[in-house]
Amino acid sequence: MMSLYLEHFGLTREPFSIVPDPGFLYPSHYHRQAVAHLKYGLEREGGFVLLTGEVGTGKTTLIRTFLKSMPAHVRTAYILNSQLQVSDLLASICLELSIKSVARDGVSFVKACIDALYDDLLADHARGNRTLIIIEEAQNLGRDVLETLRLLSNLETHTDKLLHILLVGQPEFLETLAQHDMRQLNQRVVSRFHLQPIDRKELADYVRYRLHKAGAKRAIFEDSCIPVIYKLTEGIPRLINLICQHALVAAYATGRYSISKKLLKEAAAEALPSSGLTRHVKGRWIVGLPLALVIILGVVGLQEAIKEDFHKIDSAKLIDFPPNAEVSNANNLVDTTERTALSSDWILSKQSSSEFVETSQNDISQSPASDIGDPRDSQAQTEDHRFDAKTELLKLWVPQSFLVLSSSSAKEILRLKEETIFLSDLDAMRALDRPGLVTLSQMGHAKTMVLIGIQNNFVTVRGEFGDEKVEFSDLLAGWNREYTYIWRPPPNYEVLQGDQRNKPLINWLQERFLQLDSAYERMITGGRYTEALQFHVLEFQRLYGLKQDGILGPETIMMINRLTDPSTPSILVRS
């Protein structure tokens, strides 16, 4: 039954499940900030890290995503049940960390657990590891449990704390910490972040992102649905998922292939009875999820029994079947030629969600007519996709899972920066080694193409009619020498020179040097661009033929990226 439901929309997975699946986490502005705060807290010397947020904002999904990217040297104890006594909490922590407490005469179970934990933490610290305890639903923790956690945070050597504790809870937990008797714990929070709902401007990207992750090849929700979803949910992901899920079931049960504003409101009235929409729905059947599933099961039985003649059934007694299931509407898809391996099967768009459609020619004959269940709900959407050089350039940088986002969102999430310079020769282009835009003047007309490769004295450019290999001298004849390219600056990027302080950038630089040379010894810099570190940058610049000024600028960073990040696009074609 569920496979038929997914097949109806061309999906491979359930797109709007409320299960906290890390694979479906949309990297909103607030979620990216939250991850940055969590990483910062983990890098500190120890103490408490605090993540709060309203119910349904995605805290658990975020934490599970964070756990998947945890470095190998960090052990974690993940406690989901916060309604525990002190002894139960300590036992759970020891169990998660595979620590066996040794019972001793005259020693309480709590002290035995703490002693065993301390011994284990000391041994693990000596091996260069860290330990993180994560506790969900922290608003349920009792005062005695919070005091025990505070005492655990005191476990330390002469120079280092041995434990990081991440508390995840609802906003009322902040009120608990603000109490006078909680001030000792509150003052030990080294990093805190309150997770906000999704912004209105990101909501369309959120819906598209989840549909794409589930295998969607076309827009399913009309643009007019987005303001309605935001008004009803205020951007809370769990409520968004609930409404969208009900809308998909309603559309399937009534034979529609797209969801209109009207259908969405009817489904939302059932999904969120307190929304106030119910009173506006008169004389129209509202498809509740349980009822829809019963109907779907009935449809499956009828299809199995009647096979080819299902369209003859009196639809008024059950549901509205499509009048012609074989109707094909090519307006839902775009007929394009196959791209090379450097491009994507998806077209990036800066406009509405209706522009995010698959470019597979093979699927045109299989595309259902748009909303054939009720022609009043939707109009067939037509697209006129022309070659866009900027979009093609961006697609070389953007992973396929991000291609459903708008260009600006993709650039922000992936920290991509666009630069324009003037190039006069082939050597300078080789040294830059980044695909870029070139504007050519031919017969009085200007056209912009993407330069994607250099081999000997030839360059390969991508344009409206595909890829073309031309001599560089021919390119120079019509080129204005302007070259627009994309690069990825490190976190917290700025040009570094002298004794400037920038801890995130210094950490990034030293991690990259370690990638380049396993013998490199990480320096203690206090987050400053010290003379010793500048010397290493000078040596790097000398080794790779860069300007030897010791300044950590774009040219040096791009060379580091080229050597350490295999996903960085290159234009150098090896013979």
Distance CA 455, CA 469 (A): 10
pLDDT at 518: 84
Q: How many CA atoms lie within 13 A of 514 on its CB side?
A: 9
- CA neighbours within 13 Å on the CB side: how many for 326? 3
pLDDT band at 136 (very low <50, low <70, confident <90, very high): very high
Q: Distance between CA 133 and CA 118 in Å, rounded?
A: 14
Using an 8 Å Cβ cutoff, are 219 and 367 in contact?
Answer: no
pLDDT digits (tens, 9 = 90+) for 297-326: 444 444 444 334 433 333 333 333 333 333
| Whole-number Å distance between alpha carbons of 86 and 147 | 9
Give the whole-angstrom CA distance, residue 483 versus residue 448: 10
The amino acid at residue 421 is I
Percentage of the chain beyond pLDDT 90 is 42
Cβ atoms of 364 and 336 closer than 8 Å: no
pLDDT at residue 575 in the model:
58
What confidence tens digit (pLDDT) does each residue in 442-499 have? 777 888 999 999 998 899 999 988 999 999 988 888 898 899 999 999 988 889 888 8
Higher pLDDT pick, 108 / 382: 108
Answer for the pair 507, 519: CB distance below 8 angstroms, yes or no: no
What is the 3-state composition of the chain as percent helix, strand, coil, each rounded to the nearest 5? 45, 15, 40
Verdict on whether the full-model pTM lies above 0.85: no
CB atoms within 10 A of CB 92: 19
pLDDT above 70 for 2: no
Of 421 and 346, more confident: 421
Q: How confident is the model at residue 286 (pLDDT cuts 50, 70, 90)?
A: very low
Return the number of other C-beta atoms located less than 10 Å from residue 553's C-beta.
15
Q: Which residues contact 32 (CB under 8 A, 6 or more apart)?
A: 413
Tell me what the mean pLDDT of segment 365-393 comes to: 52
Residue 81: the pLDDT is 87
Average pLDDT of the chain to the nearest whole number: 79
* Band of pLDDT at residue 377, cut at 50, 70 and 90: very low
Please tell me the distance from the alpha carbon of residue 25 to that of residue 19, in angstroms, as a whole number. Answer: 11
Listed residue (303, 294, 314) closest to 253, CA to CA: 294
The confidence score (pLDDT) of residue 156 equals 86
CA distance 519 to 513: 9
Residues 6+ apart with CB under 8 A from 47: 41, 153, 161, 164, 165, 188, 189, 190
State mean pLDDT over 93-100. 91
List domains and CATH numbers for the chain: 2-6+211-366 (no CATH), 29-195 (3.40.50.300), 415-487 (3.90.70.10), 503-564 (1.10.101)
Structure tokens given for 438:
């070139």
Please state at what angle helix 29-43 crosses helix 59-68, rounded to 10 degrees: 50
Per-residue pLDDT band at 44 (split at 50, 70, 90): confident
Q: Let me know: does 49 contact 42? Beta carbons within 8 Å.
A: yes
Partners of 346 in the β-ladder: 358
Which pLDDT score is estimated for 164? Answer: 93
Range from 63-67, 159-163, 370-374, 390-394 carrying the lowest mean pLDDT: 370-374
Say what the pLDDT of residue 403 is.
Answer: 63
In the predicted structure, residue 362 carries a pLDDT above the cut 80: no
Q: What confidence tens digit (pLDDT) does each residue in 240-257 have?
A: 999 999 999 999 988 899
Longest CA span, the chain: 96
pLDDT of 495-554, one tens digit each?
Answer: 988 888 898 899 999 999 999 988 888 888 888 899 889 999 999 999 988 989 999 999
- Pairing between β-strand 466-471 and β-strand 458-463 as defined by DSSP bridges: antiparallel
DSSP 328-386: B-GGGS---PPP-TTS-SB---SS-GGG--B--GGGGGGPBPTTTT-TTT---------
Q: What is the per-residue pLDDT across 140-170, written as a single tens digit (0 to 9) for each?
A: 999 999 999 999 998 888 888 889 999 999 9
pLDDT, average across residues 212-234? 92
